[in-house]
Structure 1
Amino acid sequence: MKNFLIPTTLKEDTISAVKSAVNQAKNTNCEIVLMMTSDAPDSFSSSQFLREMRVGLTTSQEEVLETCRYIIEHSANCKIKVHNQYGLSSPVFKGIIDAFDVKLVILTHSYKQETKRIHQYLVKLAGNQRCPILHLGTEAVKEDFNKALYIENSNANMHVKDVQQFLSQNFSYEIVSQTANFDDNYEEFAPYLSEAISKYDIDLLVETRKGEKIKFKKSKKENINDKLGLPVLSLYEELV
């Protein structure tokens, strides 16, 4: 069984994330967990704690959730579960990954733009897990991805063959091109990247990552998602 975790505030692109998960399952049994995270109520009274935990959904959120359920109802091999999480820490998040046996975390663009600290914290916690992360792009989402561009991290000392072997074992992606990391000189690399993406019909980027100390910065660093608009599959280096 291949299970997916989709952190969400039930914005419209959650539907794209669910469709992507269904397609990733490739007709094998799967469970898609929609996780809604909130701060734990600050109260010593158990009754007040329970009252504050009851958070209703807006009309638009209800519509998104119903659409997601409709998609799953018409996917014979998939189930959907809504998990409400109050409060978050590194051990708690790892416990969620393990408890649901999550094989892929899917992060939508809207979720990463959330301003509440607990949502930003979850995104950073996800980056320190061994579980692969699929960052959906800012453009219209394809439900399936096939051809990948591997962005090589010079500090990782990983061969493209090792990355492709991991992809072949766990996904259906083929690396058709590769490039060095271009964080510091994107403007110089941009024309060549656009040419490669067009030439090889690339619909996915693949990168590797390491765990890092969690810090909150006032200004967000523009990532590959923002620069190219394509989905990015991020693999934890020790996992590969």
Structure 2
Amino acid sequence: MKNFLIPTTLKDDTISAVKWAINQAKKSDCEIVLMMIAETPDSFSSSNFLREMRTGLTKSQEEVLATCRYMIDHTQNCKIKIHNQYGISSPVFRGIIEHFSVKLIILSNSYKQETKRIHHYLIQLAGNQKCPILHLGNEQFREDFNKALYIENSNANMHVKDVQQFLNDNFSYEIVSQASKTEDLENMTPLSEAISKYEIDLLVETRKGEKIKFKKTKKQNINEKLGLPILSLYEELV
């Protein structure tokens, strides 16, 4: 069974995230968990605590959720679950992944643009988990994603063959080109040329755990710069 975790605030691109999960599941059974997170209410009164926890959905959020449920209802092998989480920590997040047997975390563009601190915290926590992460791109959902560009981290002891073997075992992507990772996001010409030449539709990178930091200015990454989805693999898994 392939289970997917999608942190969400129920923006429109949540629908694309669910479509990605359905496509990744193929014909195998899966459960798609939509996780909505909020700060724990700061209250000494239990009744006030419960009142503050009752947060309704806006009309647009209800429409997105209804669309997601409709898609799942018309997909025989998939189920959907809504998980409301109040407060988060590394052990709690790890427990959620283990409890739902999550095989892939899917992060949408809108979720990464959220301004609340708790959403930024969850994204950083996700990066320190061993579970693969799929960062969605700017394009609309497509079902025929299969050509990948491997972005090699200079300080990683990873061989492209090991990464490809992991993709063979867990996904349906083929690495057709590779390039060295660069911190200079102003010069994307080499990557753009490779993407155009080989008709790349997915980027693949490996990552290590990092110390969580909160910065005033958000740093743009390759995923956002090129607009393509990127599959991030924890190095110990590969």
Same fold (TM over 0.5): yes
Q: Distance in 1 between matches of 2:236 and 2:144?
A: 26
Note if contact 1:151-1:179 (Cα within 8 Å) is conserved in structure 2. Answer: yes
Cα drift, residue 144 of structure 1: 4.4
Q: Distance in 2 between matches of 1:144 and 1:104?
A: 19
Task: Tell me what 1:26 maps to.
Answer: 26
Task: Tell me what 2:123 maps to.
Answer: 123
Q: Distance in 1 between matches of 2:10 and 2:186?
A: 34
140-149 or 171-180, which deviates more: 140-149
Note if contact 1:20-1:144 (Cα within 8 Å) is conserved in structure 2. Answer: no
**Percent pairwise identity:** 78
1:1-240 pair list within 5 angstroms:
1-184=1-184, 186-188=185-187, 190-240=188-238
Q: Distance in 2 between matches of 1:23 and 1:144?
A: 9
Note if contact 2:19-2:141 (Cα within 8 Å) is conserved in structure 1. Answer: no
What SS class does the counterpart of residue 83 from structure 2 fall into?
strand
TM-score by length of 1: 0.97
TM-score by length of 2: 0.98
The alignment of Structure 1 onto Structure 2 pairs a total of residues equal to 238
105-114 or 196-205, which deviates more: 196-205
Q: Distance in 2 between matches of 1:48 and 1:143?
A: 46
* Aligned amino acid, residue 159 of structure 1: H
Cα drift, residue 220 of structure 1: 1.1
Structure 1 unaligned segments of length 5 or more: list them.
Answer: none
Q: Which runs of 4+ in 1 moved over 3 A?
A: none
Q: Distance in 1 between matches of 2:15 and 2:151?
A: 28
Q: Distance in 2 between matches of 1:25 and 1:198?
A: 28
* Aligned amino acid, residue 112 of structure 1: K
